[in-house]
Amino acid sequence: MEGRRFLRRRNEKLTAVNTKINVNIKDELGGVELLPLSKISKHFTSQPADEHIHIIVQRPVETKEVHCTATYGRKSEKFLWAVTRGQITLSALKTRLRTCFTFPDGTEDEHIVINRESGKERIRLVDDEYLACIIWSQGFKVDLPIVLDTSQQPFSSWRFDKMKSLFGLKADDYNELPTFAGGVKETPEEIRNLVIGEFLRLHKTSQHITSANEATRCEYISRIIYGVASIYGGEIKVYPQYEISGGHGKGPVDWAIKIGNIIITITEAKKEDINKELHRMRSNCRHPSSAILKNELMIRQVCRKT
């Protein structure tokens, strides 16, 4: 405390000079020569001793211009990323990349994989230190070509045995799951007539439904989904061919229905594909296990009828 009080008192023998001087410590550092110390005397009433003169040199903050060429899927974007050494992190780069690309719902930073292109080779950027080393080992202007992907497995790579182990399912096959009886809600006659009118129009202008491919069948199913969604006055939004992503998988669904922050996925699937769809629901559902089971039973019931 005594020392602090002493430092707060004015010291007539201690003078700080805040001035800009064009300096360079050594010739090998480049630039102009350091001005003679005698020039400092103009700031004092008398020339101070050399050992009492201390010069503090503040190093300028060095910035790098990183010219990124990023590719995600079929889309490529070029942008300038100006950073200091302390600002170079994978998290900061991923934040910048999110302004260029739209990733599937549920994609977290840890799911985004960044690979640097070096000739014909792709090298994964594993941590902040490696990224900083790449950028700081080059000149002021840095070219950084990168390719993005997400780390989750495609839904098509999952099988029921993997799901059973990961999620603790009791059944050995989807056929062993209990059935779920869904409720029925009356649809206004006006909506029904509109949907039927759309069906008749499609029937006249498309191939026979029994021999149609999935794309044609989806046209009919879409009319029903949009018709039912219209009952709720815009509170329900329908997104066809929607990309979803979760901690254990990624991939498209035929339709996604959004109600606030709730997402319901709808996929037209053959019986042999139902196990993949069950995994899709589990890997992206954030509701309690009872709600997940309910969704599984609904999918199974619908597929049994197709």
Question: How high is the pLDDT of residue 41?
Answer: 63
Confidence category of residue 10, pLDDT binned at 50, 70, 90: low
Q: How far apart are CA 8 and CA 176, in angstroms?
A: 82
Burial class (CB within 10 angstroms; exposed 0-12, middle 13-18, buried 19+) of 179: exposed
Q: What share of the chain is helix, strand, coil (3-state, %, to 5)?
A: 40, 25, 35
Question: How high is the pLDDT of residue 211?
Answer: 62
Share of the chain above pLDDT 70, in %: 68
Question: Domains of the chain, with CATH numbers?
Answer: 2-52 (no CATH), 63-150 (3.10.20.90), 155-305 (no CATH)
Question: How high is the pLDDT of residue 119?
Answer: 83
Which of 28-32, 107-111, 248-252 is predicted least confidently?
Answer: 28-32
Does the pLDDT at position 218 exceed 90? no
Contact between residue 144 and residue 132 where contact means Cβ atoms under 8 Å apart: no
pTM (two decimals): 0.49
Q: Which residue has the higher pLDDT, 6 or 136?
A: 136
Question: How high is the pLDDT of residue 275?
Answer: 54
Overall average pLDDT of the 154-180 stretch: 74
Supply 142's token pair: 């840095």
Q: How far apart are CA 84 and CA 126, in angstroms?
A: 20
pLDDT tens string 63-105: 889 999 999 988 999 999 999 888 999 999 999 999 999 887 7
pLDDT tens string 118-159: 888 889 998 999 999 999 888 888 999 999 988 777 777 777
Q: How many CA atoms does the CB half-sphere of 270 hold within 13 Å?
A: 4
Overall average pLDDT of the 255-265 stretch: 86
Does the pLDDT at position 289 exceed 90? no
Within a 10 A sphere around the Cβ of 93, how many other Cβ atoms?
25
Q: How far apart are CA 298 and CA 262, in angstroms?
A: 17
Residue type, 45: T
Report the length, in residues, of the chain: 306
Residue among 15, 143, 163, 21 at smallest CA distance from 70: 143
